Chains A and B, each alone.
Chain A
Amino acid sequence: DAGVIQSPRHEVTEMGQEVTLRCKPISGHNSLFWYRQTMMRGLELLIYFNNNVPIDDSGMPEDRFSAKMPNASFSTLKIQPSEPRDSAVYFCASSHLPGQGNEKLFFGSGTQLSVL
């Protein structure tokens, strides 16, 4: 199993530019999560999907952030326009749906985003 795959691993961009982060969940997992990790705020849940449908986006910081999941094997997190305070490591994670007997969350290796 290839695990959760994220791209790019590193992204450096200038303030005001659009940034798109990509994620491929583990095959067979129907829940997908986007997290952000910073030194100041720790690990924050931004949004999650069940069966490609956004369920809770209350963690999305503001309208500059948007996430989509057009199919079961692909999701994007977009920041437009980006700002220096968006600099962080962004993780994608996937799991089985609740009630399927496995609560384990599988994380990708993350995208290190630096906005200059």
Chain B
Amino acid sequence: GNSVTQMEGPVTLSEEAFLTINCTYTATGYPSLFWYVQYPGEGLQLLLKATKADDKGSNKGFEATYRKETTSFHLEKGSVQVSDSAVYFCALSDRIQGAQKLVFGQGTRLTINP
């Protein structure tokens, strides 16, 4: 079945550092890929997505590129801020069934120190 494996956390960085959170997936066919973010005390919210190979999703300075050859969708940000502290979830879905079949990774907790 489909699955997502994320870099284990927690990850702690200083403000303005470069961020990479690794995500790899196993899926049949051509899934859509997502990063969701969960701020303290809140539900998850969509950060970015990519629906086909070589697509780059971007939002709020975060980027991730859909790499079919390496089955990866790593999240990157050039200069993190304290406000980026949150839990980040990589996810995939069947292109036809969309949110009906979202599979989440285990989440990576990110803490940014001033």
* B98 contacts A by Cβ under 8 Å: yes
Number of interface residues of A (CB under 8 A): 25
Q: Are B41 and A109 in contact (CB under 8 A)?
A: yes
Q: Is the interface of A mostly helix, strand, loop or mixed?
A: strand
Partner of A103, one of B42, B44, B49: B49
Q: Are A105 and B107 in contact (CB under 8 A)?
A: no
- The interface residues of chain A lying within 8 Å CB-to-CB of B34 are 103
Partner of B45, one of A43, A48, A103, A107: A107
Most chain A beta carbons < 10 A, residue from B32, B41, B100: B100
Once A and B bind, how many residue pairs between them come within 8 Å at the CB atom? Answer: 58
* Sample (25) of A-B pairs whose CB atoms are under 8 Å apart: A31-B99, A31-B100, A33-B99, A42-B104, A42-B105, A43-B44, A43-B89, A45-B102, A50-B100, A91-B44, A93-B44, A93-B99, A95-B98, A98-B100, A103-B32, A103-B34, A104-B49, A104-B99, A105-B46, A105-B99, A107-B42, A107-B44, A107-B45, A109-B43, A110-B43
Chain A contacts to B: CB under 8 angstroms:
4, 31, 33, 42-43, 45, 48, 50, 55-56, 91, 93, 95-96, 98-99, 102-110
